[in-house]
Amino acid sequence: MKVFITRVIPEEGRKLLAEAGIEIQEWKEKRALTQEELILNCSTADALLSVSTRLDADFLKAAAHLKVIALHSVGFDHVDIEAATALNIPIGNTPGVLSNATADTAFLLMLATSRKAFYLHKSIEKGDWGFFEPTANLGIELRGKTLGIFGLGKIGLEMARCCKAAFGMKVIYHNRTRNEAAELELGAKWLPFEALLQQSDVVSVHTALTPETEGKFDQAAFQLMKSSAIFINTARGAIHQEDDLLQALEAGTIWGAGLDVTNPEPMRPDHPLLKLPNVSVLPHIGSATQETRAAMSVLAAKNVIAGLKGEEIPFPVNPEVYAL
């Protein structure tokens, strides 16, 4: 049995695959594969372990012989799940293990943005640490402020816990369905989307990218937010409209933004958002810790191993395939 892996993954996952007697074929080039290369490499494989690779219906049809596709991510918006299910291909993801690391990244961006940390670091490099002015470089304090979570699932809950523990922040949230466990644990309060925007000092996005959430943070949304508010997105760049965000920041409609995800990725180096003092941008590093990436590689490997044994995979995103 052979698995094709689209990027080099941590040793922990590779070891598990090797111990299960699975042959590993890895894409080692530091560029994304083309669709043709992906199809060609999968043609001799029984399973695919896919990292940050778009898997559309055309690819899936060409690779319909695959027994399992294991994603090295919790998100699966880059995969045509419906097409995979129709072809009876189980798709697995890596839930749970990246919640802490991603929430840490949201917390980092919130704090860095509130004190203009990235911008001021760059200003020292430019030789701009000059005359001290008591009214210059002022940030915003977070103690006792209100955190608004859009999408209170595992990652949002961890961000809310951090903010409450560190700064005694009050937690409000918007979800399709109420998260009663979080309400009990944190005193979190469900609000309609508009009220969430109006009442939050920090709005942090932790939802999946779906047709319903795509472009949700647009000009109208930013206009409802406080002029002192900070917008944080560690989920998916397509959930905010980047031009609208830039305009809202330039016009002072909102105060600051911290982004681990942009639209498109990578963000171009001359993007005007990177020049603004109250903006912090990171290159999609939410899950990028040694511990978390190792754990993700293990879950992905477990999905591959079970799929190749013909067993139900442990972390399926389309369990319907087993009901067919």
Residues at the interface with ligand 8YV (CB under 6 A): 51-52, 72-75, 98, 284, 286-287
Which residue's C-beta sits nearest to ligand 8YV? 75
Q: In angstroms, give the least distance from the CB of 207 to ligand 8YV.
A: 12
Least Å from the CB of residue 311 to ligand 8YV: 24
Nearer to ligand 8YV, 24 or 195 (CB): 24
Q: Listing from the earlier edge strand, what are the strands of the sheet with 2-5? A: 23-26, 2-5, 47-50, 68-71, 91-92
Q: Which residue's CB is nearer to ligand 8YV, number 6 or number 175?
A: 6
From 11, 265, 291, 312, active-site residue: 265
Min dist CB 146 to ligand 8YV, Å, is 27
Residue whose CB is less far from ligand 8YV, 145 or 284: 284
284 in catalytic set: yes
Residue that the structure tokens 């647009």 belong to:
218
* Nearest residue (CB) to ligand 8YV, 51 versus 249: 51
The answer to whether 176 is a known catalytic residue is no
In the chain, the largest separation of any two C-alpha atoms, in whole Å, equals: 71
For residue 273, what is the DSSP state?
Answer: G
- Provide the 3-class DSSP secondary structure of residue 203: strand
The catalytically annotated residue of 236, 240, 242, 293 is 236
The one catalytic residue in 14, 72, 240, 284 is 284
Q: To 5 degrees, how large is the angle CA 216–CA 234–CA 60?
A: 80
Q: How near is the Cβ of 283 to ligand 8YV at its closest, in Å?
A: 10
Query: Please, are residues 12 and 294 in contact by the beta-carbon 8 Å criterion?
Result: yes
Distances (CA, A) of 72 to 42, 189, 304: 16, 33, 11
Asked whether 308 and 22 are in contact (CB, 8 A), the reply is yes
Catalytic residues: 236, 265, 284
